[in-house]
């Protein structure tokens, strides 16, 4: 290839790949050249960068206006500069054009691109040679990577990451012909470049960006929409816990109101002082399994008086201790160190195990009223999968509101069944507790009436119109070592879940992940919000809901302001006692049926995290498979040591009763209780197995899909990153933003 001999050959980009394909079909757009920071090249030092590459920038004083012969080849996306003949006539070195938007230099050079036919069959890459006026060349290598910035390719040449991100690796050579450096240049199809647009943090695929303000009415609409799409996760946990604790329908309504209040407060705090991502905080399924383990302990089975309040105070004490540990983990900076060991191969099976842990509860409970639960499951699947593309007045209602819409329709259907006498049995009353029923015929139908009738709950009749949940409303928390140790480990698992959610959500709404300091700040605030949950007595800790990424993806809404407006409505609903009463009146079979869908969704969201890794890697699939299998099998081993529980508890609660009768026996009974409880929970075992294997089995960063977080230099050079993650107003300086944001 000749350079400098023919000016016409340098006025355009030539592609020689054996077929004459144009570069535009393969490389839609190239971001201006930026040297890698990890190679000790600071993009802000344009003078030194120009000297190293043989160019002279505008900063050196040798500037000139761009010639009319310079143009931008729209078919390739490359800037094509003057020919070498014109360059020799005008000066000893080519000029550097400074991009007016990014402030980065863009060299005027001729470009010639050719395909590399010598690449192996297991790779898919192209090469180009960029010729400048001095006859020097640059080789450009294309490779597909995942969204986390890692080059990911499997053996068949198909990238396992998200195909929409395709960077270039530019290898520059100096005048002595020495090997140069690799520089990643991100490219996005459909004309989108990596970075923030317009200073409002608006991701190209979103209707409302992170910092957008669509107006007061739109903020209310989008905020309510976001929380309604997460209704299944926010309101149905008390329907499972409170009856198991021996609580009344009124207690269920009160706990639901308390959860709404804590969730609203936690979401607002997290939006301003946490990770600042649009993530709803609330009672997570992660805390449901340990709560059921404590509830079904042998010590609480035979309590006659105040059983509900006693167990709730026990849960409060455990949650408070676990939340303090989580806050220390975040504020001390230990979470920043732990991030190096938490990657998708650990997060994916751990989150999936959270949903799989409830397989013994889901349909066995929903099957108590199959004529109601099965139609609900079918309806939510139809709305979610088959009707998701239908738009009504410009809104995909079936896709966004699948859960509340399906529950409402099925609830109305169950009401007509009840009103029509489908569950009327001669001489039997649904208001009489099953323990007081003397007629054998009525005792047989008591279970059906309780789970199927829409008027079986008396929450509406007993709940007050206005009731403000207040701290310590159930009494002073009870602290025990055995339950506190359980919640400490569970808070660690919740932190791992949140790390995966932070990373996935950041790529959906901001294009750039947060810094380790921001992640630590978010985890610390989650611990503080769990402390509030423990003080108020919601029964579970507060953490980032795993389903957030699914909600953002389907609603295309990521505004922090909208989320705050929705949280304010949540707080308003929490003080209206009848709202909690209505939600508590949903038949238990309906709640169990919708939870089957929500738990399955948690499994799917967890496994989707593997998209950032090489999913075809034998290492990864082995670790995930072994982790999930042992995460289900080891708890099954611990659960078989409970002959008394099988006789005393319903079958769907037996897996959560292993803490008192497990096989571990030491000199300390409280330690026995904790170990047996922890090893009977699928998510804990899965996390431990995946964590050990992923951090000990050899594997490249690309193969493992190691999370890449932003660093302090990114914050210093990118104002939009500061706007996305920095604390609001003067809190940045008051809270030592340099350590909170850039650690």
Helix, strand or coil, per DSSP, at residue 142: strand
pLDDT score at 199 = 42
Closest CA to 251 of 515, 459, 411: 459
Q: What per-residue confidence (pLDDT) applies to 173? A: 40
pLDDT value at 476 more than 60 = yes
pLDDT-derived band at 86, boundaries 50, 70, 90: very low
How many C-beta atoms lie closer than 10 Å to residue 619's C-beta? 18
The burial class, CB within 10 Å (0-12 / 13-18 / 19+), for 160 is buried
For 681, how many CA atoms within 13 A lie in the half-sphere containing its CB? 29
**DSSP class per residue in 156-168:** TS--SS-TT---E
d(C-alpha 445, C-alpha 110), whole Å = 84
Indicate the pLDDT class of residue 253, thresholds 50, 70 and 90: very high
How many helices (H) and strands (E) the chain has is answered by 32, 12
Provide the token pair at 481.
């070592």
572: its two tokens: 């308003």
Distance separating alpha carbons of residues 358 and 308, to the nearest angstrom: 22
- Band of pLDDT at residue 391, cut at 50, 70 and 90: confident
Confidence of residue 256 (pLDDT cuts 50, 70, 90): very high
pLDDT one-digit tens code per residue, 422-434: 888 766 766 666 5
Q: How many Cβ atoms from other residues are within 10 Å of residue 716's Cβ?
A: 12
State the pLDDT at residue 169: 40
Mean predicted confidence (pLDDT) in 448-458: 84
Q: What is the pTM of this model?
A: 0.73
Residue 581's pLDDT is 93
Helix (H, G, I), strand (E, B) or coil at 107: strand
pLDDT digits (tens, 9 = 90+) for 66-77: 344 444 444 443
d(CA 9, CA 13): 8
Q: In angstroms, rounded to a whole number, what is the distance separating the alpha carbons of residues 324 and 317?
A: 11
The mean pLDDT of the chain is: 76
Residue 446 predicted with pLDDT over 80: no
Provide the pLDDT for residue 433: 60
Flag whether pLDDT at 46 surpasses 90: no
Pairing label, strands 281-283, 182-185: unpaired
Average pLDDT of 196-205?
51
The number of CA neighbours under 13 Å toward the Cβ of 399 is: 18
pLDDT band of residue 645 (cuts 50, 70, 90) is: low
Mean pLDDT of 192-221: 68
- pLDDT of 731: 64
Cα atoms in the 13 Å half-sphere on the side-chain side of 200: 14
Most confident listed range (180-184, 393-397, 459-463): 459-463
Q: Does residue 159 have a pLDDT over 50?
A: no
pLDDT, residue 469, reads 95
Taking only the tens place, the pLDDT of each residue in 521-573 is 999 999 999 999 999 999 999 999 988 888 888 888 889 999 999 999 999 99
Q: Does the structure show a pLDDT above 60 at 114?
A: no
pLDDT band at 634 (very low <50, low <70, confident <90, very high): very high
Instruction: Using the predicted structure, report yes or no on whether residue 390 has a pLDDT greater than 50.
Output: yes
Give 211's pLDDT tier (boundaries 50, 70, 90). confident
Residue in 21, 28, 95 with CA at minimum distance from that of residue 55: 95
pLDDT tens string 679-702 = 999 999 999 999 999 999 999 999
Condensed to tens digits (0 to 9), the pLDDT of residues 563-614 reads 999 999 999 999 999 999 999 999 989 999 999 999 999 999 999 999 999 9
Mean pLDDT (whole number) for 114-118: 44
Average pLDDT over residues 504-510: 86
Is residue 395 very low, low, confident or very high in pLDDT (cuts 50, 70, 90)? Answer: confident
């Amino acid at each position: 290839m000749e350079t400098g001999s023919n000016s016409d050959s340098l006025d355009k980009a030539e592609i020689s790949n054996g077929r004459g394909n144009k570069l535009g079909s393969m490389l839609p757009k190239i971001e201006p050249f930026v040297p890698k920071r990890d190679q000790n090249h600071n993009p802000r030092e344009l003078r030194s960068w120009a000297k190293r590459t043989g160019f002279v920038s505008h900063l050196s004083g040798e500037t000139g206006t761009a010639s009319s012969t310079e143009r931008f080849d729209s078919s390739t996306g490359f800037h094509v500069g003057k020919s070498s003949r014109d360059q020799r006539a005008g000066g000893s070195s080519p000029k550097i054009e400074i991009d007016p938007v990014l402030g980065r230099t863009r060299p005027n050079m001729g470009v010639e691109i050719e395909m590399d036919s010598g690449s192996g069959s297991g790779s898919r890459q192209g090469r180009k040679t960029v010729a400048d006026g001095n006859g020097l060349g640059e080789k450009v290598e294309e490779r597909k990577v995942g969204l986390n910035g890692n080059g990911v390719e499997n053996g068949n040449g198909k990238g396992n990451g998200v195909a929409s991100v395709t960077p270039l690796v530019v290898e520059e050579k100096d005048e002595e012909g020495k090997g140069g450096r690799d520089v990643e240049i991100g490219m996005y199809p459909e004309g989108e470049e990596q970075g923030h647009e317009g200073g409002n943090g608006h991701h190209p695929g979103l209707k409302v960006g992170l910092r957008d303000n669509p107006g007061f009415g739109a903020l209310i609409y989008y905020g309510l929409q976001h929380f309604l799409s997460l209704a299944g996760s926010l309101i149905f946990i008390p329907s499972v816990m409170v009856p198991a604790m021996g609580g009344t329908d009124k207690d269920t309504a009160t706990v639901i109101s308390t959860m709404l209040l804590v969730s609203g407060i936690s979401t607002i705090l997290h939006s301003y002082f946490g990770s600042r991502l649009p993530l709803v905080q609330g009672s997570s399924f992660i805390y449901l399994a340990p709560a059921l383990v404590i509830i079904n302990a042998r010590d609480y089975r035979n309590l006659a008086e105040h059983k509900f309040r006693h167990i709730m105070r026990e849960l409060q004490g455990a949650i408070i201790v676990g939340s303090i540990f989580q806050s220390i983990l975040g504020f001390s900076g230990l979470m920043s160190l732990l991030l190096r060991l938490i990657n998708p191969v650990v997060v994916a099976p751990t989150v999936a195990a959270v949903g799989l842990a409830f397989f013994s509860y889901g349909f066995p409970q929903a099957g108590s009223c199959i004529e109601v639960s099965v139609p609900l499951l079918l309806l939510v699947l139809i709305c979610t999968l088959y009707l998701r593309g239908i738009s009504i007045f410009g809104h995909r209602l079936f896709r966004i509101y699948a859960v509340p819409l399906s529950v409402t329709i099925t609830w109305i259907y169950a009401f007509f069944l009840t009103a029509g006498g489908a569950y009327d049995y001669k001489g039997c009353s649904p208001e009489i507790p099953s323990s007081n029923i003397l007629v054998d015929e009525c005792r047989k139908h008591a279970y059906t009436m309780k789970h199927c009738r829409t008027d079986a709950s008396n929450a509406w009749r007993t709940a007050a119109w206005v009731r403000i949940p207040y701290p310590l409303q159930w009494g002073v928390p009870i602290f025990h070592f055995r339950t506190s140790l359980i919640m400490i480990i569970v808070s660690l698992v919740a932190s791992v879940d949140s790390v995966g959610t932070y990373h996935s959500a950041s790529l959906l709404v901001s294009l750039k992940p947060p810094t380790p300091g921001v992640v630590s700040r978010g985890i610390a605030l989650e611990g503080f919000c769990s402390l509030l949950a423990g003080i108020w007595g919601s029964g579970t800790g507060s953490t980032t809901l795993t389903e957030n990424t699914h909600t953002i993806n389907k609603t295309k809404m990521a505004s922090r302001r909208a989320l705050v407006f929705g949280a304010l409505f949540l707080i308003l609903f929490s003080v209206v006692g009848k709202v909690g009463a209505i939600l508590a009146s949903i038949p238990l079979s309906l709640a169990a049926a919708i939870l089957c869908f929500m738990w399955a969704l948690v499994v799917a969201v967890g496994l989707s995290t593997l998209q950032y890794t090489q999913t075809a890697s034998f290492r990864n699939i082995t670790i995930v498979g072994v982790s999930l299998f042992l995460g289900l099998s080891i708890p099954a081993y611990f659960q078989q040591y409970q002959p008394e529980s099988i006789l005393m508890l319903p079958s769907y609660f037996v897996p959560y009763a292993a803490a008192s009768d497990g096989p571990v026996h030491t000199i300390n009974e409280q330690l026995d209780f904790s170990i047996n409880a922890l090893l009977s929970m699928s998510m804990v075992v899965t996390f431990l197995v995946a964590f050990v294997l992923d951090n000990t089995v050899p594997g490249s960063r690309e193969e493992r899909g190691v999370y890449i977080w932003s660093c302090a230099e990114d914050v210093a050079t990118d104002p939009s990153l500061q706007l996305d993650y920095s604390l609001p107003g003067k809190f940045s300086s008051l809270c030592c933003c340099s350590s909170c944001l850039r650690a």
